[in-house]
Amino acid sequence: MDPSMTVRLRRPGTLPILREGQPLNGRLRRLPPPSFRGRSAPRRTTVGELKLPRTNLTLPFRRRPPIDGLSDDLNAIASWNLDHAPARRLVRDAFKDLQLQLDHCLFKLAPVGIRKEEWYERNSRGLMIFCKSWLPDPEVRIKGALFFSHGYGDTCTFFFEGIAEHLVGGGYAVYAIDHPGFGLSDGLHGYISNFDGLADNVIEQYEKIKERPEVRGLPCFLLGQSMGGAVALKVHLNRPYDWNGIVLVAPMCRIADDIKPPEAVIRSFNLMSRVMPTAKLYPAKDLSELALREPRKRDMAVYNVICYNKRMRLKTASELLRATTNLERQIGRVSSPLLILHGAADKVTDPSCSRFLYEKASSKDKTLRLYEDGYHCILEGEPDNRILTVLSDILGWLDARSSPRESRPMSADGNPVLGKVWKGH
């Protein structure tokens, strides 16, 4: 669960959230609401060359609350129906330059000279999956590769753009995909028909990327945020020896006892999800004030216009509940080196669940870091110094596991020195 799913588009007030001197709309051209008619796309296509498939579906033009300071054209584009990926791709194309102009430390302090590539891969289910890479300058020695799994409702093309660039500045190659049904990948927006399928898709896509010349022989790590943390844990349980370590940020790995629904409610809910799986009936809450601590950064999240922020679909909710229940039963099998990061004041995913994971995982190398007063989005919605501290903590942990084995601090039994529970400030 990330800033994209917790914030509905609303008027952000009069805060100057674009960097001074930057134009609002860039080279935006007026785009009409799309109408698509079906045609298959090639297996691999660069984003700039992607020919959008046609379908017999006409997407209705729906107004949503306007974003202050934007032109009528951009607000009209933000109002499109995003149930299907071709529309989401057009909307992202209209907003991508504007998003990078936001006055956020992730963007304004990002290093320069980063090589980026975007492409689509057709997966084994026939879905076109959006992929992206961020690489250091060719003269920089790459220490390792980091593979991202985003949270519910989110995409790897908004705040994670800045996160990836900071990690690349630390000497790492970074790769990301949008899960099916989210961001720029195919699939009904916000719909998860089978949670295991998300993990299978991550395995499938990242196995291909690991064959790229710049990745071969490098230590490889998974980075999972919120729901993406649950996906990362599922990937590890399916392939326990494929990764050199896992970084989890506010992971969704267990439902706290005080908020878990009664069994009778769960049974009724699962029955409804079988009858009308795509229905948007699950009650929606506006969690923006609980997810992003700084109001100024909370206001920026409205620019993530391809996020899924509607009511949760019934089958999606059922699958997330099933996934967390299954993960809780298997936590003892988690054996990978672990870095678990969580805001101590998180009200979206309970920090006690991260502590549960830390205590029950069988990993010999595990670290839990709790950030005092931190909310859910510790990489996006905290004060600048906190965000940079979290990024530094991630890089420090990766560095200790990416250097030659003989240079790492080792314990008497030949394992890396174990982490501790840290309380950050």
pLDDT tens, 305-358?
A: 999 988 899 999 899 999 999 999 999 999 999 999 999 999 999 999 999 999
pLDDT of 41 > 60? The answer is no
Q: What is the pLDDT of residues 100-144, one digit of tens each?
A: 999 999 999 999 999 999 999 999 999 999 999 999 999 999 999
User: How many helices and strands (H and E) does the chain possess?
Assistant: 13, 10
To which CATH superfamily is domain 3-10+107-424 assigned? Alpha/Beta hydrolase fold, catalytic domain (3.40.50.1820)
- What's the confidence (pLDDT) of residue 59? 38
**d(C-alpha 1, C-alpha 323), whole Å:** 14
- What's the confidence (pLDDT) of residue 53? 42
- pLDDT above 70 covers what percent of the chain? 77
- What's the confidence (pLDDT) of residue 168? 98
pLDDT of 405 > 70? The answer is no
pLDDT of 4 > 50? The answer is no
Other C-beta atoms lying within 10 Å of the C-beta of residue 286: 12
Q: What is the pLDDT of residues 182-211, one digit of tens each?
A: 999 999 999 999 999 999 999 999 999 999
Least confident window among 68-77, 164-173, 282-291, 323-332 = 282-291
- What's the confidence (pLDDT) of residue 290? 85
Cα–Cα distances (Å) from 76 to 35, 61, 401, in that order, read 15, 8, 48
pLDDT of 397 > 90? The answer is yes
Other C-beta atoms lying within 10 Å of the C-beta of residue 37: 11
- What's the confidence (pLDDT) of residue 289? 82
- What's the confidence (pLDDT) of residue 346? 94
Domain-wise residue ranges, the chain? 3-10+107-424
The end-to-end CA distance of the chain, in Å, is: 23
pLDDT-derived band at 265 (thresholds 50, 70, 90) equals confident
**d(C-alpha 390, C-alpha 378), whole Å:** 7
| Catalytic annotation, residues | 226, 346, 376
What six digits make up the tokens of 204?
Answer: 């499938």
Q: What is the pLDDT of residues 203-252, one digit of tens each?
A: 999 999 999 999 999 999 999 999 999 999 999 999 999 999 999 999 99
The average confidence (pLDDT) of the chain is 83
Average of per-residue pLDDT across 408-415: 38
**DSSP one-letter string for 272-329:** HHHHSTT---BPP---HHHH-SSHHHHHHGGG-TTS--SPBPHHHHHHHHHHHHHHHH
Average of per-residue pLDDT across 16-27: 46
**d(C-alpha 342, C-alpha 225), whole Å:** 10
Backbone phi and psi for residue 173, each to the nearest 5 degrees, phi listed first: -85, 135
- What's the confidence (pLDDT) of residue 414? 36
pLDDT-derived band at 25 (thresholds 50, 70, 90) equals very low
